[in-house]
Amino acid sequence: MSMNKPRIQMIIERLSIFVSIALIAGAGLESRHFRPPPDASAYRQRVKDAAASLPMSIGDWTATNEEVEPSAIQLLHPNVILSREYRNAVTGEAVGFLFVDVQDARDTVGHYPPVCYPAQGWSTQVTAPVTRRLPDRTVTLTEYTFVRGVFDEDAALVVDDFFVLPGLGTAPDRDPVIAAAKDLSRRFYGVAQIQLVFVGESTAQQRQAAFEDLITPARDLIQTVQTIDTGESTSPAKGDLQ
């Protein structure tokens, strides 16, 4: 992987600017006053607590927190948002880590790599389902490869992206998110999204290793997002971690 990189923040911090049109349009399509939303406050606090326990140091990886733009907070209305850059002290690799848990499933429909990255000038080169291995299970996600001008020093960008749906499990694309946004019994529990962002050159082996290193400690966080309450078991979903 190239060592000559801008900080991951420069890519992540501009994403929110380009989802505003989709969010504004969606907000105009339906009213939020069908009935009072369920009280999700206890659930949201559990997710906050789990996110706060995500370690800054993981093996050879050490993270720095990246500032989140106020515009992103205004658009996504997050319950939790973490933007970090993890750097490997041995290999020199740098990987962006983004975790967003929104309070309303509708707020993340427009926060989607095929929307955000092309709006920054990146062209989509490859979109492919990928199965990543964890020590005792697998997760299916979507891997996006973006490119831009050959004179740009960072001409390649690979994003591993998946969603976590309360009461359901994980999903590699936004189709289940759209369904959750229409479900009045689930939309107010929100949806979480996780991205690993690889800037510059990286191999499939490097991405698998980084995923295993960085997502394994996040399994408790993912499980917390999946579980609406202690009495509800998650049903299978495409790419489910269960």
| Residue 172 DSSP SS3 | coil
Q: How distant, in Å, are the alpha carbons of 34, 48, 77 from that of 104?
A: 14, 15, 8
Nearest alpha carbon to residue 193 among 122, 105, 95: 105
Identify the pLDDT of residue 76. 85
Q: In this predicted structure, what is the pLDDT of residue 28?
A: 43
pLDDT given at position 9: 57
Write the DSSP string, 206-241: HHHHHHHHHHGGGHHHHHHHH-SSTT-PPPP-TT--
pLDDT of residue 230: 46
- 204-238 residues labelled b (16+ CB within 10 A) or e (exposed): eebbeebbebbbeebeebbebbbbbeeeeebeebe
- Measure Cα distances from 225 to 73, 189, 190 in Å: 19, 9, 9
pLDDT value at residue 121? 84
Give the mean pLDDT of 190-195: 94
pLDDT value for 23: 39
Can you tell me the mean pLDDT for 45-50?
96
Give domain limits for the chain: 9-226
The sign of the CA dihedral 2, 85, 213, 113 is negative
Is it the case that residue 26 has pLDDT exceeding 50?
no
| CA 111 distance to own-chain centroid | 9
Q: For residue range 170-184, what is the model confidence (pLDDT) as tens digits?
A: 999 989 988 888 888
Give the rounded percent of residues in the chain with a pLDDT score beyond 90.
47
The reported pTM is: 0.79
pLDDT digit string (tens) for 86-134? 999 999 999 999 999 998 888 877 778 888 888 888 888 999 999 999 9
Mean pLDDT of 145-170: 84
Banded pLDDT at 11 (limits 50, 70, 90): low
